[in-house]
Amino acid sequence: MNLYEELPGVNSMIKVNTKVLAVTAAAVISMASMVANAAGEMKPFILGSTTTGSVGDQVAGVKKSLTDNGFEVVGEYSPYETAHIIIVTNNDLKKAAASHDRGGYAAGQRIAITKVGDQVQITYTNPVYMAAAYHVKGNISAVTSALKKALGEVKEFGPAEGMDAEDIAGYHYTFGMEYFDEPYSLASYDSHAEAIAAVEKGLAAQAGGATKVYRIDIPGGKQTVFGVGLSSETTGNKYMDDTFIMNEIDFKETRSTAHLPYEILVTGDEVEALHARFRIAVNFPDLSMMGSNSFMNIMPSPDAIKASLTEAAGGELESDF
């Protein structure tokens, strides 16, 4: 019993007021949601569903649902024991990727099946967020709808606060950090075909600890994007390793496993990759600069990733200074 229960007549008034407050609170929450949606705020990942069992139990069903909804599975890999990642594309994604000469990064959507405790999470990249991050043009709402139909939609997730398309397109983590249009230059060749052949050769040899996960050729014949897994098994450098990096930065209850894999883009006769200080930050924009689970813990990773990707592309590593 509390003080209000001891006062005659007040208890019924409290009940009425509680109902009013509940209705008011619901209205405020609904209005806030409408405002957020109107502002077009987005987060980088979508939680499709959760289940139990093992990661392996879900792989076949997820792939079938994706192909049933018009997607082509172009690659898959398990970067670590508790995760399996599937990469898909379709004509809408390829068309959007072809909208500018560095749009190839948007051609593949990443789906992750991750074991977290007793739960298996099925998550995927948010197509609209990625389209904004990679500056591609065109309506990809059909891609979003198809992914939601195939995999479900519980919530968008990632940072505590979302960003609108304009903020995502102009994103960089902080002063001095790279933007989308400041990639690593990995190698240069005499032709697009020669550049592709060099990357294929390097990935087949696992040069720099990089292995091929997928390849997507963009319509128009001037862009090809490769997805690459990165492992320190041969390099001995943990800072370029998928498992090490994700252990440091992917620590929230709902995992952002679909951040992987990294990409190499062949555009014309040039081979490039997004700078890690952009590529990681745009998917983890609220990752702290210092402390546990922070950028400080992976400070050598951008240089380590650049070195591995340059070797995989057959290029020569040059200093940034």
Domains contained in the chain, number: 1
Residue 126 has pLDDT above 80, yes or no: yes
247 occurs within a structural domain: yes
Residue 30 forms part of a structural domain:
no
Tell me if 22 is assigned to some domain: no
155 - beta bridge partners?
Answer: 47
Query: For residue 22, is pLDDT > 60?
Result: no
Within a domain: residue 281? yes
Q: In whole angstroms, what separates CA 131 from the centre of its chain?
A: 11
What count of Cα atoms within 13 Å lies in the side-chain half-sphere of residue 147?
32
Over the chain, what is the mean pLDDT?
89
Residue 117 scores a pLDDT above 80 = yes
**What is the C-alpha to C-alpha distance for residues 246 and 293, in angstroms, rounded to an integer?**
10
At residue 83, does pLDDT exceed 60?
Answer: yes
CA distance 62 to 85: 11
Q: Give percent of the chain with pLDDT exceeding 90.
A: 84
Amino acid at 113: I
For residue 55, what are the domain limits? Answer: 45-312
Record the tokens describing residue 180, joined without a space: 């989308």
Is 319 inside any structural domain?
no
Q: What's residue 221's pLDDT?
A: 87
Q: What is the DSSP letter of 220?
A: T
Identify the residue with better confidence: 21 or 297.
297
Question: Is the distance from CB of 315 to CB of 187 less than 8 angstroms?
Answer: yes
Quote the pTM value: 0.87
- Kindly state whether residue 15 falls inside one of the protein's structural domains: no
User: Does the residue 321 lie in any domain?
Assistant: no
What would the mean pLDDT of 290-314 be, rounded to a whole number?
96
> Any idea what the CATH number is for the domain that residue 273 is in?
3.30.310.70
Q: How far apart are CA 209 and CA 318, in angstroms?
A: 19
